[in-house]
Amino acid sequence: MRGMKPYLAIFSARFRMMMQYRAAAIAGLWTQIFFGLVMIMTYESFYGSTKQTQPISFAQIVSYVWLGQALLALLPWNVDSEVRAMVRSGAVAYELCRPVDLYSLWFMRAMAWRTAPTILRAVPMTLLAMFALPLLGLGEWRLRPPSAAGGLGFAGAMVCALLLSCAIGTLMNISLMWTVSGDGVVILLTALVSLLSGMIIPLPLFPDWAQPLLRALPFAGLVDLPYRVYLGNIAPSGLPSVLLRQLLWTGALVLVGRWLLARGMRKIVVQGG
Amino acid sequence: MPPQIVVEDLVKTYQIAMRAPGLWGSVRGLVHRKCRELRALDGIGFSIDAGELVGYIGPNGAGKSTTVKALSGILVPDSGRCEVRGRVPWRQRVEHVAEIGVVFGQRTQLWWDLPVIESFELLRDIYRVSPARYRSASDELIALLDLAPLLDVPVRQLSLGQRMRCDLAAALIHEPPVLFLDEPTIGLDAVSKLAVRDFVRQLSRGRGVTVILTTHDMDDIEALCDRVIVIASGRVLCDGSLDDLRSRVSRERWLTVDLAGDEEVSDPQATIVRREGSRLCLSFDPLEISPAELIARITARHAVRDLFVENPPIETIVARLYETTEAARFHAEETETACAE
């Protein structure tokens, strides 16, 4: 465990710093509740207007939406502001002066950057969606608890989703070594990630021709696959293949990230005198 | 004992994309980009023994920071040899950086939102310093740099001088035998500068840490360094003691005279550097005229209240050295090439 010490120290420092942003999380919570309700109302009218059987039931869609709102911050949709500031100011020089594996260091940063805000939002969001909505007479629109098998499988799949998200996020941070500001990459990736992961529209509702593509890309592992495990839309017997897909993608993206970082370090020109 | 730092014939060229001005220029830049090559290092070489405190000076853009970055393993040079304690910095980065401390004066390595002590503890974990060693090292640094009142303050609330003291301590938590200081006194007030200087002196004399110090403040150099390396346009101009540097540029001495009256003074073998009221500063070459002779001649002709002979300030020497290379700087090999995108 001694080898892990520097990485755990960075994780814990960054995590504690991120946990200070409670006010932002609370403010975001209200926006997300509003957003979740609008999405549910849209799906309700959509389901009411068709007689065809959909690949996913309305009750499942509702839970899917709330899970998405609760776990929104886990999506790799932005670059780490601290890394961006470091690259811009040239303080990244200090980061390169540490006797640690830089990729692992940045991966741990990404992990803290994703988990802290997720915890701040997920807990109150789940409580509200699961228990407060029925009290308001909106029981149809509530987040339903999972089966025991679904819940356990979901926990495992979410751990893998976190790793996958960190691998994508670290890749985005590494791209800052070329673009400096990272705005272009962020705009492109935000759009791609939120659409292709299922955060905007659950993936089962995409047309049939798009399904092979969605299955081939890594993004379903962030949202769609774990949520469908929770809902039971993917049976417990399908869990191993979900985990395998997530982990294979994570491994591949880690390799790409390491390769890019090694190249970036050879060409890096630290800004300023 | 082999030298701690060996640099031989180090070369680094930066590609600088040039953007033509105006809208049309930026459109054209999309398809056809002009690149300028800038030789930041053009065959730098020196070697430094354990425990030396070396001043590394040169005008802006001379390649000082580039050298420090190459020595710290951050930057990979194009060619040449560079070894610190027997290791090539960028090839054995992790082992190398565990044995060096670095301070970039214009940036901080402390965590902006954390109290100072937490930054130290983080660095302890990152450098895998044992609790016992950390305690003795941090106690000593806190005492030497007078950091006790600052430890609980978040870094963003520190003044520049306080922050620099904390940054110095942060660079030394892991007790590195080699320390690179890149402009550690930049922007500091007089008191903070003295504190930084005293500390660096103690570190070098007391603990035998090898220090490379880049600075624009010649007082830093005079106060601290036995040896100075002057570089310009990526080349070493001069490498030796301060006296060597002086004698290379000129033999000139200055005689400052406080006159009783305010009459004109002139001497065929001395030139007036400046005059402020009754105080007069004359420059002369001690090989042409001995100081005693000049003083005798002046006191014979004028009523003198006080006088003293000194070396011209090191600033003047260095400025002169830079001027002589300024011309060369404009002719530096900045070739324009069209680079394929």
Res. B188: pLDDT tops 70: yes
Q: What is the pLDDT of residues B204-225, one digit of tens each?
A: 998 889 999 998 888 888 889 9
Among A198, A170, A188, which residue's Cα sits nearest to residue A264? Answer: A170
How sure is the predictor about B335, in pLDDT bands with cuts at 50, 70 and 90? very low
Position B317 scores a pLDDT of: 81
Q: Are residues B154 and B134 in contact, defined by beta-carbon separation less than 8 angstroms?
A: no
Position B265 scores a pLDDT of: 83
Reading the block at residue B225, the tokens are 């360094």
Q: In chain A, which residues have their Cβ closer than 8 Å to the Cβ of B126?
A: 6, 9-10, 98-100
| Mean pLDDT, chain A, integer | 89
Position B275 scores a pLDDT of: 86
DSSP-derived letter for residue B261 is S
Res. A223: pLDDT tops 80: yes
CA A166, CA A263: separation in Å to the nearest integer?
A: 20
Position A2 scores a pLDDT of: 58
Position A64 scores a pLDDT of: 94
How sure is the predictor about B341, in pLDDT bands with cuts at 50, 70 and 90? very low
Tell me what percent of the residues of chain A surpass a pLDDT of 90: 56
At residue B111, what is the residue type?
Answer: W
Integer CA distances (angstroms), B21 to B18, B28, B36, in order: 9, 10, 15
For helices B160-172 and B116-126, give the axis angle rounded to 10 degrees: 20
B contact test, residue of A96, A106, A263 with most B CBs within 10 A = A96
Q: In chain A, which residues have their Cβ closer than 8 Å to the Cβ of B121?
A: 9
Q: Are B75 and A17 inside 8 Å of each other by CB? A: no
Of A17, A90, A99, which has the smallest distance from its Cβ to B127's Cβ? A99
Chain A residue closest to B77 (CA)? A266
Q: What is the pLDDT of residues B67-91, one digit of tens each?
A: 999 999 888 888 999 999 999 998 8
DSSP track, B61-126? TSSHHHHHHHHTTSS--SEEEEEETTB-TTTSHHHHHTTEEEEETTS--S-TTSBHHHHHHHHHHH
- Three-class HEC string of A206-237: CCHHHHHHHHHCCHHHCCHHHHHHHHCCCCHH
Nearest CA to CA, how far is A179 from chain B (Å)? 14
Residue B182's H or E segment, with its range, is: strand B178-182
Position B330 scores a pLDDT of: 52
CA B122, CA A5: separation in Å to the nearest integer?
A: 10
B interface with A, Cβ–Cβ below 8 Å:
14, 60-61, 64-65, 69, 72-76, 93-95, 97-98, 100, 102, 104, 106-109, 111, 113-114, 118, 121-122, 125-128, 183
At residue B33, what is the residue type?
Answer: R
B100: alpha, beta or left, given left = phi > 0 and alpha = psi -120 to 50? beta
Res. B329: pLDDT tops 60: no
Q: Measured between CB atoms, does A266 come within 8 Å of chain B?
A: yes
Q: Are B127 and A272 inside 8 Å of each other by CB? A: no
Q: Measured between CB atoms, does A19 come within 8 Å of chain B?
A: no
How sure is the predictor about B180, in pLDDT bands with cuts at 50, 70 and 90? very high
For B32-43, what is the mean pLDDT? Answer: 80
Of A9, A96, A272, which has the smallest distance from its Cβ to B126's Cβ? A9
Of B75, B121, B126, which has the smallest distance from its Cβ to A98's Cβ? B126
Q: In chain A, which residues have their Cβ closer than 8 Å to the Cβ of B97?
A: 96-99
Lowest mean pLDDT among A154-168, B31-45, B86-100, B274-288: B31-45
Q: In chain A, which residues have their Cβ closer than 8 Å to the Cβ of B100?
A: 97
Nearest CA to CA, how far is B296 from chain A (Å)? 50
Q: What is the pLDDT of residues A80-91, one digit of tens each?
A: 888 888 888 778
How sure is the predictor about B328, in pLDDT bands with cuts at 50, 70 and 90? low
Q: Which ipTM score applies to this complex?
A: 0.82
How sure is the predictor about B336, in pLDDT bands with cuts at 50, 70 and 90? very low
For B32-48, what is the mean pLDDT? Answer: 84
Nearest CA to CA, how far is A109 from chain B (Å)? 13
Res. B286: pLDDT tops 60: yes
Q: Are A97 and B73 inside 8 Å of each other by CB? A: yes
Contact partners, residue A69, CB within 8 Å, separation at least 6: A32, A33, A35, A36, A125, A129
Position B238 scores a pLDDT of: 87
Cβ within 8 Å of B, A 67-96: 89-91, 93-94, 96
CA A200, CA A194: separation in Å to the nearest integer?
A: 6
User: Which tops the pLDDT comparison, A162 or A138?
Assistant: A162
Chain B residue closest to A94 (CA)? B109
User: Which tops the pLDDT comparison, A35 or B17?
Assistant: A35
Cβ neighbourhood burial of B310 (10 Å; 0-12, 13-18, 19+)? exposed
Reading the block at residue A188, the tokens are 């492109």
* β-pair type (B100-104, B5-18): unpaired
Q: B337 by DSSP, 3-state: which?
A: strand
Q: In chain A, which residues have their Cβ closer than 8 Å to the Cβ of B111?
A: 13, 17
Q: Are A99 and B113 inside 8 Å of each other by CB? A: no
C-alpha count within 13 angstroms, C-beta hemisphere, residue B293: 11
Of B76, B97, B114, which has the smallest distance from its Cβ to A97's Cβ? B97
Q: Are A96 and B74 inside 8 Å of each other by CB? A: yes
Q: Are A270 and B74 inside 8 Å of each other by CB? A: yes
Q: Measured between CB atoms, does A262 come within 8 Å of chain B?
A: no
Position B310 scores a pLDDT of: 85
CA A126, CA A116: separation in Å to the nearest integer?
A: 16
How sure is the predictor about A115, in pLDDT bands with cuts at 50, 70 and 90? very high
Residue B4 dihedral angles phi and psi, to the nearest 5°: -75, -35
Position A66 scores a pLDDT of: 95
Nearest CA to CA, how far is B230 from chain A (Å)? 17
Res. B334: pLDDT tops 50: no
Res. B144: pLDDT tops 50: yes
For helices A239-267 and A224-231, give the axis angle rounded to 10 degrees: 160
Q: Are residues A167 and A107 in contact, defined by beta-carbon separation less than 8 angstroms?
A: yes
Tell me what percent of the residues of chain A surpass a pLDDT of 70: 96
Q: What is the pLDDT of residues A28-57, one digit of tens each?
A: 888 899 999 999 999 999 988 888 888 889
At residue B124, what is the residue type?
Answer: R
| Mean pLDDT, chain B, integer | 86
Q: Are residues A106 and A174 in contact, defined by beta-carbon separation less than 8 angstroms?
A: yes
Nearest CA to CA, how far is B160 from chain A (Å)? 16
Cβ neighbourhood burial of B317 (10 Å; 0-12, 13-18, 19+)? buried
Nearest CA to CA, how far is B75 from chain A (Å)? 7
Q: B236 by DSSP, 3-state: which?
A: strand
Number of neighbouring beta carbons within 10 Å of residue B124: 22
For B123-143, what is the mean pLDDT? Answer: 94
For A217-233, what is the mean pLDDT? Answer: 94
Integer CA distances (angstroms), B107 to B120, B285, B334, in order: 16, 44, 29
* β-pair type (B210-214, B178-182): parallel
Res. A183: pLDDT tops 90: no
Rounded to the nearest 10°, the torsion over CA B188, B189, B193, B195 is -120
User: Which tops the pLDDT comparison, B121 or B336?
Assistant: B121
Quote the pTM value: 0.83
DSSP track, A98-137? SSS-HHHHHHHHHHHHHHHHHHHHHHHHHHIIIIIHHHTT
Q: B214 by DSSP, 3-state: which?
A: strand
